[in-house]
Structure 1
Amino acid sequence: MRIAGYLRASSRAPLSQVAKTSLATVLAWLVSTVVMGEPLPIFAAIAALLVVQPSVNQSISRGIERSIGVILGVLLASAAAAIFAAGSWIVLAVVVAALLLGWVLRLSPSSATQIPISAMLMLSIGAATPNYAFERVLETMIGAAVAMTVNVTIAPPVLLVPAHVAVSRLLRECAATLEHLARSLREPQDAASLEELLVHARSLRSLESAASAAIATGEESLTLNPRRAAHRRVLERESQLLGRGRVLARRILGMSRAFRDHYDANLHNEPTVSEIARELSRASHDLVLLANENDPPPATTPRGKRGTAGSVTAAIVSEDGNPASTPIDDDLVPALTAPLMIPRPHPQHWVLIGSLMEDMRRVREEITGEADG
């Protein structure tokens, strides 16, 4: 079972990618046969298989890399064959020289690997085949060109949905952590509960990284994509939300850490702390509204009904499933009030209260958009 786990990927490519790769391979084979009269254009098919990538930009890059690797490998092998006599040691020496050449030129792994492969084929097969070098280069370039053309013209992928899902998940988990912190401020906490809150807040880092990677993948899918104009604005919106979510995640982690480090058993009796907890619940509510801005409304949701899956209510309930102690009057209306004003913090808790207030100010700015202005 463990061996099978190493061999299998966590996710598989879309079926459309498999269909495009198959089509590109068949077309490269047919075009090479017609243009070059080659009955078995293996290298054109190999180039097509390797060049079709998930994005247009990657496909073009891979085509250029493979062509450069083939040309350098053929030139290196031709020079070695012209200078030295035939022999097995020449093949090994050229392979080492090809690897060093790729290292010196700082080529990508794809190009650096292609150089020794082409050189070995040139010295082993090309020595007995006239015009092998020229035919191999031309055949490879035909396969790469066909593959790039297929990937550009037939439904080039636009990977925006994973970016939207990742950013929305980050914002919703930030909201859930804010509500978790609000509950912790209202009730006495033991050491295990404090650590659980901090672990929850630290998990936002991995969600932030996943959202950043999804945004980068989305940008990659739009680079050189003929459909990029229709989707660029959507990705820019997700990138803007990610920037706000990144700030929120770091502020929430700081609040959770400060609460853990400066916790006092009587903290929940402090009136100012109760007000901060109320504002945290309001911030959680509004953050879910922000995450839901780009989500289409459920088609089966009756007008005015609340508490459906994915609604704001789900983010502001207590751990036992009961409503939070500071319910929001309207789940669809922003709930944040003006920033709290504390003229004289409690002398025993002033460090924690001041830290929470400063972080709450930045959280409020990010949720309302005031930080962008």
Structure 2
Amino acid sequence: MAALTAAVRAFSRDPVVVQAVRSTAAATIAYAVALWLTGQSAPLTAPLTALLVVQVTLFSTLTTGIRRVNAVIAGVLIASGFSLLVGLSWWSLALIILASLIVGHLVRVSEFVPEVAISAMLVLGVTRVADTAWDRVLETLIGATVGLLFNVVFVPPVWVSTAGESIADLARRMRRLLLAIGAELTTPTPVATAVARLDEARRLDNDIAEVDTALRQAEDSLKFNPRVREGLLNRVVLRTGLDTLEICAVVLRVLARTMTDLAKERGDEPLFPPRTGRALEELLTEVADALVGFADLVTAQVSANAEAAEARLATGLETAAEARARAAALMFDGVVNRPRHWQLHGALLTEIDRILAELDPDHRAGRLMEELDRTAREEYGKLPAPEAARRWLAARRRARHRARHRTGH
């Protein structure tokens, strides 16, 4: 029973499942309303329009709904005109498609130009269902109205938690890669293994693209949503968090490139002497844990656990800084004795420093405030960030100072 409940909960949080259920419900309601208002035996244009209008977020429904309605109405009118003049044949179908695409650009429906042609073909296929063009236009308006009202009355879910899970999963994948690299520092590492790690780091770009898609959906779900307070703050917190992880992923790819070059230089020798390798492995472990801690902070900042997450991240970064100092001292001694690869050693430390700097809470607070100001100016004119956001950042700074005071830093 518990497994069934968990499965139902997982499906209810899947945007694809939610969109399928909502679209089905809206299309069915539009069909029933059209049956009642038009008297047609099968007003299929109404559910078709509702299906096209209903979106996964209220913002996308409101911003794209009008263009979709224009596209559908244009296609309906084109199909109606052709159905009165000619029948359905290969040459009339070609003319309908060409005319629909041209009209789509003329009526400025943007990305929905193909839907003009699609609507025209679908309506032409059911031309016997409605006797006049006005019947089909009325059905289209009914479907569009039902679709818009459906998302207004039944507000779509807020997808912040889904985006947060995607960000956390990305951080965990980066952590696993860093741990794998660290585990190979004290043994001879074949070049093929190092190249495989580099390829894995490159694949993070695909993961980031998937997270970006989930985040865009979450951002849209926060806009115009009456159930959301401080939507701007939540959007900026998640967006800047992903931006930071994207920078870290780029640096991680460069780090993997450095390790590949070092593996080529070392040949059958271990990448580092035992003490240095263990110190670097400890450092990479701390950096990996800090990445996960940063993701926890980003996702916790839209909940009540932000202060604890920020304190944990600050402690983790301090531990990483100490591990970095120990590893750097051992690497310096090794370079003195074997100066051949000092460039690669220096590059490795520089890349680790860049990741730690990006994860620093003070650095993040500054970027967050800049992004809040920029976004507020874009959305609300030349206004500073909302006062609530400023109070939120001030509370975060006070929490960091208290945490450092308790730890003696």
- Name the residue aligned to 1:5: none
Higher mean C-alpha displacement, 73-82 vs 50-59: 73-82
Larger Rg: 1
- Name the residue aligned to 1:336: 320
For residues 110-139 of structure 1, the C-alpha deviation after alignment (integer angstroms, 9 at most, x for no partner) is 2332134445656x666xx3xx11221112
- Name the residue aligned to 1:113: 118
Q: CA deviation at 1:348?
A: 0.8
Structure 2, unpaired ranges of 5+: 1-12, 301-311, 367-409
Question: Structure 1 residue 101 and structure 2 residue 91: aligned?
Answer: no
- Name the residue aligned to 2:216: 216
Paired amino acid for 2:321: T
Q: CA deviation at 1:363?
A: 0.9
- Name the residue aligned to 1:350: 342
- The correspondence of residues 1-373 of structure 1 with structure 2, limited to 5 A, is 17-60=19-62, 63-76=65-78, 86=86, 91-92=92-93, 94-102=95-103, 104-105=105-106, 108=112, 109-118=114-123, 129=131, 132-229=132-229, 231-263=231-263, 264=266, 265=269, 267-269=271-273, 275-293=279-297, 334-337=318-321, 340=325, 345-346=335-336, 347-369=339-361, 371-372=363-364, 373=366
Maintained 8 Å contact 2:34/2:46? yes
The higher relative CO (CA closer than 8 Å, separation ≥ 6) is in 1
Q: CA deviation at 1:94?
A: 4.0
Higher mean C-alpha displacement, 58-67 vs 256-265: 58-67
What is the alpha-carbon root mean square deviation over aligned residues? 3.7
Structure 1, unpaired ranges of 5+: 1-10, 297-311, 313-330
How far apart in 1 are the matches of 2:20 and 2:81? 39
Higher mean C-alpha displacement, 218-227 vs 136-145: 218-227
Q: CA deviation at 1:43?
A: 2.1
Q: CA deviation at 1:216?
A: 1.7
Change (3 A) 1:88 1:215: closer
Change (3 A) 1:275 1:29: closer
How far apart in 1 are the matches of 2:295 and 2:72? 49
Change (3 A) 1:225 1:112: farther
Higher mean C-alpha displacement, 73-82 vs 342-351: 73-82
How far apart in 1 are the matches of 2:18 and 2:207? 28
Maintained 8 Å contact 1:77/1:120? no
Q: CA deviation at 1:142?
A: 0.9
Q: CA deviation at 1:145?
A: 0.6
Higher mean C-alpha displacement, 171-180 vs 241-250: 171-180
For residues 212-238 of structure 1, the C-alpha deviation after alignment (integer angstroms, 9 at most, x for no partner) is 121122223334433343555334322
Maintained 8 Å contact 1:66/1:114? no
How far apart in 2 are the matches of 1:97 and 1:192? 53
> How many residues are treated as equivalent by the alignment?
324
For residues 176-207 of structure 1, the C-alpha deviation after alignment (integer angstroms, 9 at most, x for no partner) is 32233333233332334323432333332232
Paired amino acid for 1:280: L
Maintained 8 Å contact 2:166/2:211? yes
Q: SS of the residue aligned with 1:229?
A: coil
Paired amino acid for 1:291: A
How far apart in 2 are the matches of 1:198 and 1:43? 52
How far apart in 1 are the matches of 2:290 and 2:82? 69
Change (3 A) 1:113 1:190: same
TM-score (norm 1): 0.71
How far apart in 2 are the matches of 1:196 and 1:88? 56
Paired amino acid for 1:115: A
Higher mean C-alpha displacement, 94-103 vs 178-187: 94-103
